[in-house]
A and B are shown apart, each in its own frame.
Chain A
């Protein structure tokens, strides 16, 4: 078990370009989450998958954002027509179904830092 893996670690793109990030969760975790974090702030929820089903989406997730989790394994987050305001750290997290009330929270990846120039 190597934890949650995110690629790439850094991405610099020009405004208007499309970008795609990948997240590989812990293999036995069926729940996967995407968050966005800007400097000096806590992470903000974007979307949640249980297996391959996208069950929750934040109002922050505009039409330019799309996420997928085919076959309930890895996930991708795509941003179309990037804007400077999209510059942030994009964090992926995974978790297993909580048993009783013992839940160890999410396991986060190290994130993909996006810079839009």
Chain B
């Protein structure tokens, strides 16, 4: 069974304090790994898609990387507006569904 775990469960950072979020996965036939951001009371918002080990994507203060067993979301010099839950999801096999991890709840304090 495909599984996705994320760590830490929650993370508090001071503004400007860089850190990384981890997503570990166990799947058969990875087709893609996705990062989403979710604000309270809203649906997830797409950030990145990664397809193969070694791939990296960047957007503003965020950078996502992928290995054969995990992905990292690096946050450089975060700002309070980066506070949200960050979700990792994988698509595997022939299905169209995503398997999501439980998310990391990030708080950035001014």
Do A and B actually bind?
yes
Interface size for A (C-beta < 8 A) is: 27
Residue contact B43 to A93, C-beta cutoff 8 Å: yes
Question: In the complex, are the beta carbons of B101 and A104 less than 8 A apart?
Answer: no
A45-B51 CB under 8 A given contacts A93-B43, A109-B43 = no
Cα–Cα, bound, A93→B4 (Å) = 20
B97 near A58 with CB under 8 A, answer yes
Report A-chain residues with C-beta under 8 Å of the C-beta of B95: 56
Kindly list chain A residues whose C-beta atoms are within 8 Å of the C-beta of B42. 110-111
A105 contacts B43, C-beta separation under 8 Å = no
Please tell me if A108 contacts chain B, counting CB pairs below 8 Å: yes
Q: Which residue of B lies closest to A58 (CB)?
A: B97
Please indicate the chain B residues that have their CB under 8 angstroms from the CB of A48 in the complex: 96-97
A28 interface residue per 8 A CB criterion? no
Type the 1/0 row for A47-76, where 1 means its CB is closer than 8 Å to any CB of B.
010100001101000000000000000000
- B107 → A minimal CB distance (Å): 15
Q: How far is the CA of A50 from the CA of B95 in the complex (A)?
A: 12
A101, B96: Cβ atoms closer than 8 Å = no
